Structure 1
């Protein structure tokens, strides 16, 4: 399909941006559906979000904006309406222009990771989950794990403000099912890295691999490099692993339908 002035534009914003795979994946999905559009990655630094987003929203041929680190919390202030889960989390990873011109925000990070875990044949219901990270992705994953019926979720974040805010939200919505802890609990079934640790060469491991056991499923939100050092070490132990591309794959149809206002 040729690129013309009629082509609908969708963007993905973040910093850094070089590691993202969604632009290619979703543009190909648009082509397969005979939809005249493309998804463009835009590198927007954290301090420039409040300047850049109003400009993007003002362009009539931009229909949606996907959001990755570090903008998932900040972008919510630029939406006119929010889904229930986005309102609970206080973070979004997608916003779209509605037919009336207003912008609607939602969050699909957690649903994508949960779908990736289940697609590989691993159950979430009744399982114990340990997660590092209480930012935008971690918050969404936490809600999705609990929605899927996880028995208990333990998590921590070096940002104690984010950690405390997420604990307050989750313990209110899911009383007795959430706790804070920096060590993988005994008997844990699913371990998740929801931080950017591992994105850069030389990053410290987000989880002490000595705390992992062969029966565990270890998941990482990072899409590049694949595998991360965490997942490589987990594989050596015998753990099943899920990387960021599996999470992204789980989100693709959800995001595609959202971006084109089909859901």
Structure 2
């Protein structure tokens, strides 16, 4: 708990208006949060749309997450929370209402308070955010052979989105073999060709790192690139200024690269629709996520007692 001393005492020039007494807050919670781009991306979005709000990074340890969320649902000018590593699975268990998509994945990355009863409602838009941005930047995934490394919340969301989009295969690698096998079973139940495998990139059209490996410059490569050619597209969901070792190595081969910042940008529309601060654009397809205030009479969510 408390200040960790990991952050340098430097300030940056202001790029958006100063907050006022009417300013609302959009938080992003994780541990750590020094690498996140959401405050800047959402700051640009708020400035462009004239919304009086700011996006604040909030570092919360795993042991404090339940206490923090219980207190935060009483925060009256809170738009909602974006959830990042390592809290996506834990936040799912702490949410009071979750969409069908979140239940399928077993994790969430957006939370907001229902003003009717102060309950947390949650969804998972990592998968659709990744897919929309990847297909715009790189190309269609239908019929492609894909390796996803990491079977946590983000990796699971991405894998299911890829399966829904019609990939030829979606293989999974994870240091936890049981977790990898569970995700493979879920994909196969949906009719997706999938198997648990080692994190070796040879033979795939698309490689995706959905693990925390890459947050630090000294982290090992999460995927063995031996035999990978420039015809392969390589994605790393780590949103780190200056890139990651994986992307540097793949770039040296000549691979098409997809960066964590691009995924974050791709999620803006789906997150904004969920929070009710951007108009619906269809990015959250199939989620059944209601707008604030509960416009749907029978929302497809699982409900717990608040």
The TM-score bracket by the shorter chain reads over 0.9
Tell me the residue number matched to 1:58: 74
Q: Tell me, yes or no, if structure 1 residue 88 matches structure 2 residue 104.
A: yes
The reply to whether residue 135 of structure 1 matches residue 135 of structure 2 is no
**1:126 positional shift:** 0.8
Alpha carbons 2:207, 2:233 under 8 Å: kept? yes
Output one character per residue of 1:200-223: Cα deviation in whole Å (capped at 9) or x when no partner: 121110011114221110000011
The reply on whether 1:180 has 2:196 as its aligned counterpart is: yes
- Bigger helix fraction: 1
The TM-score, its normalising length taken from structure 2, stands at 0.81
For residues 143 and 208 of structure 2, the distance between their equivalents in structure 1, rounded to whole angstroms, comes to: 16
Q: What's the TM-score once normalised by structure 1's chain length?
A: 0.93
Shift of 1:31: 2.4
Q: Secondary structure at the match of 1:195?
A: coil
SS of 2:195's equivalent in the other structure is strand
Larger radius of gyration: 2
Aligned pair partner of 1:124 in 136, 141, 145: 141
The verdict on how the C-alpha distance between 1:117 and 1:98 changes in structure 2, with shifts beyond 3 A counting, is same
In the alignment, structure 1 residue 227 sits paired with structure 2 residue 243: yes
Q: Which residue of 1 aligns with 2:44?
A: 28
Runs of 4 or more above 3 Å deviation: 183-187
Are positions 1:9 and 2:25 aligned together? yes
- How far residue 73 of structure 1 moved from its aligned partner, in angstroms, is 0.3
Instruction: Say which is worse superposed, 134-143 or 22-31, in terms of deviation.
Output: 22-31
Q: Does structure 1 conserve the Cα–Cα contact (< 8 Å) formed by 2:149 and 2:199?
A: no
The alignment's C-alpha RMSD in Å is 1.7
Closer, same or farther in 2 for the Cα pair 1:192/1:59, shift >3 Å? same
Question: What CA distance in whole angstroms lies between the structure 2 residues aligned with 1:229 and 1:205?
Answer: 7
Choose from 152, 158, 171 the match for 1:154.
Answer: 171
Q: Runs of 5+ in structure 2 lacking a partner?
A: 1-16, 281-306
* Partners of 2:254 and 2:36 in 1: CA distance: 28
Q: Match of 1:131, SS?
A: strand
5+ long unaligned stretches in structure 1: none
Q: Give, in whole Å, the separation in 2 of the partners of 1:121 and 1:220.
A: 13
CA contact (8 A) 1:128 1:188 kept: yes
Alignment equivalent of 2:113, drawn from 97, 120, 135: 97
Write out aligned runs for 1:188-203 (5 A).
188-203=204-219
Partner-residue secondary structure (3-state), 1:10: strand
Q: Do the aligned residues in 2 keep the contact of 1:199 with 1:225 (CA within 8 Å)?
A: no
Deviation at 1:4, TM superposition (A): 2.3
